Amino acid sequence: MSSTSKLEKLGAESIVGNFEWKDVLIPEYAGKGTVKRWYQTRTLTQYVLMAGVGLYAFYEAESPKVRAAGLGLVFPGAGLVGVFTLPSMIAFVISSTMIPLALFAWFGAGGVLFPILLWAGTSGLAALLARDTLLDIAGPLWVATCLGGIAYVTYRTQSANSQARIKRSRRNEYLIESVQQSQAAGEVAEPGSRELDLKTLRFLQWFIELGLTAKDDFSYHDIIDQFQTSAIRYQLYETVSDLGVYQFIYAPNFHGYVSQAMRNVIEKSLTERVVGFWKWESLWGKFNAHNWDPIVKDDIMVSGYVLQAVGIYQSNTGDDRYTRAGSLEFQVTKTQRYKYDFRKIADAVYRNFKECSYCLFSCEPNWIYTMCNLVGISGMVLAERLLGVNYASDIKKNFELGLEKEFTNPDGTILTIRSELTGFTIPGLAGALADGVNAILCAAYLPHIAHRNWAFAKRETLRWKEDGTIEMLNLVGADKIDPGNYKAGIGAIRAIFAAAAAEFGDNAIRDEMLRQLDEDYHPVFETASGALKNTGLSTLEQGTALRARLSGFQDWVQMITQGPPENVKQGPILAEAPFPDVLVAKAYSRDGYGLDLVLYPGKDAGFFQLGFERLQPGKAYELAGKSVIASKGGKAVFEVRVEGRTALSLTPQLVN
């Protein structure tokens, strides 16, 4: 059916996602959260009280040391200016340069200890350096400076909110029509109808190689820091998502090395090198020196991601090994190990969602990232479907309200971050990049918000030029770096927009974004093994690009919310194939009895052994003109020749 015909037949409800068209409109209550305001008010009250005590000491105390220390409570280093000697002013200059570093450590690694130490340290140093007389005018100067700063921030915030409300009205004028057109153009592919081409298989091959490396082999990863977006854990979690998409769409009846790669990645994500960072964040962010459990409280950047990864694996394969008690052991240090399983992690994530006043809960200590919470809620959707719990359904209303009121601007743009401790956000971290990512991450749980985000992201960021290429507009902040390796450039955001376009059925955008990525920004090269990779692109965004190459309209949503159909779950599986000698472009059971295969040689053409399981014991099966009787355990091995594109059908033989 054409998109025009679909538009003519549209009713009041969305074609996909089970929401009404009006739900994509940005509500008036967006950004009007009461929780954030309570914390912001508390923070300002605490500051006023602290500054008031400090000023009282500065004006009323007799001791110069107490006066200097008191002034230091008004602003970090203020007391050093009050002392006004050469050593104190040098110390003030040095401490002032350390303020952004301390704030970055707080933001980047949850280190609330660092700004506290800096502020307290400058106040104490001022007392140490104080002489008999102080610069009295320093008091009113610092009061005026701080009040002016607060007034300026308040003005800018109110002005930004006013502009955002105007932008909301403009967006609401086109959102419904844009979403309707996008959905009418999208086509949900028939299950089992697709196969991978050899070029895409070569991109996939690189991630299978990554997944099959030893537990202590990180040669395929960007190793920079373990606190922010380049952390190894995100590269591992992305690998599971991408391999999962491949398996779900093209080869749900192929387990073999792809399932092994997924298990390896999940288990590597539990090792000390990957989760050991939580020891440090617990120390300097939670002041916790004894219990470094990464699951029990906060840290959704581990618990939520592992939940989703395990859920994808179990949903695709039916393998419930990670539901066994203690099957997931997080090694934070050599002696600090914490045993969990799929259900126990789901319980912890659910408890955190219920207990946090924002509903969304922290990643880094005291910092709530929306993206991590959206990943975690997809994990909850999987857990609900696979474990029979109602966790995702139970918190849905509170989660949606929390996201809309506390973590969304009045114009509908979802914020990247908010401080749980203070209630304040960090403006300008990312724009279009966050819009593209959030559109994908919301799709399985809050589809109306997902389609809303994609509608304004593509309208306001992408412009088709007369020569048939796309120009990206209005990029800010992190939009201009690769979040997986922090290298400057606008290539990585094209991978993100390609992946979003694929999920929402905008294939022309996907194809052009991938073309620009592969030809203009990160040219493709062939590795020694024959795999394909983009030059200079991080492992994280290499995975995002792979997802764009693999997926189509609603594929991610289908994988998270529904999983493989019954015919796939009942049908034979290709359990063994040599890697990289045999690459699997398709493995799908249409009827639950036979199996359609499309194979390519990974190196040279030749004869290779293929092992099959989940066959009917004692029944004869035919493949490539050969017949084998399945064992009592439902297994059989065939030797077949793979040369070029090799299409095969495993079929049970009829009894005469």
Each residue's pLDDT tens digit, 598-636: 999 999 999 999 999 999 999 999 999 999 999 999 999
Q: Which two tokens stand for residue 573?
A: 């599986």
- Return the amino acid letter for 202: R
pLDDT category at 186 given cuts 50, 70, 90 is confident
Backbone angles phi, psi at 629, to 5 degrees: -90, 130
- pLDDT value at residue 252: 98
Matching CATH topology for 157-562 and 566-652?
no
- pLDDT value at residue 290: 87
- pLDDT value at residue 424: 92
- pLDDT value at residue 10: 66
Q: Reply yes or no on whether the pLDDT at 544 is more than 60.
A: yes
Whether the bond between 410 and the residue before it is cis, its omega within 30 degrees of 0, is: no
Given the DSSP bridges, would you call strands 462-464 and 524-526 parallel, antiparallel or unpaired? unpaired
> What sign does the CA torsion over 286, 344, 540, 334 have?
positive
pLDDT category at 13 given cuts 50, 70, 90 is confident
Q: Which two tokens stand for residue 56?
A: 């009282």
What whole-number distance in Å separates Cα of residue 393 and Cα of residue 381? 8
For 59-103, the three-class secondary structure string (H helix, E strand, C coil) is HHCCCHHHHHHHHCCCCCCHHHHHHCCHHHHHHHHHHHHHHHHHH
pLDDT category at 426 given cuts 50, 70, 90 is confident
With residues binned 3-state (H G I as helix, E B as strand, rest as coil), the percentages for the chain, rounded to 5, are: 55, 15, 35
pLDDT category at 656 given cuts 50, 70, 90 is very low
Given the DSSP bridges, would you call strands 367-369 and 417-419 parallel, antiparallel or unpaired? antiparallel
Give per-residue pLDDT as tens, 211-223.
999 999 999 999 9
Residues 6+ apart with CB under 8 A from 518: 524, 534
- pLDDT value at residue 2: 56
* Residue 418, SS3 per DSSP: strand
Global pTM value: 0.94
In CATH, which of 3.40.50.1860, 1.50.10.10, 1.10.3210.10, 3.40.50.1820 is domain 157-562? 1.50.10.10
Q: Quick one: average pLDDT of 20-38?
A: 96
Measured distance between the N- and C-terminal CA atoms of the chain, rounded to whole angstroms = 43
- pLDDT value at residue 352: 97
> Domain boundaries in the chain?
34-135, 157-562, 566-652
In CATH, which of 2.60.120, 2.60.40, 3.40.50, 3.30.310 is domain 566-652? 2.60.40
Backbone angles phi, psi at 610, to 5 degrees: -120, 130
- pLDDT value at residue 17: 84
Runs of H (alpha helix) within 566-605 = 566-570
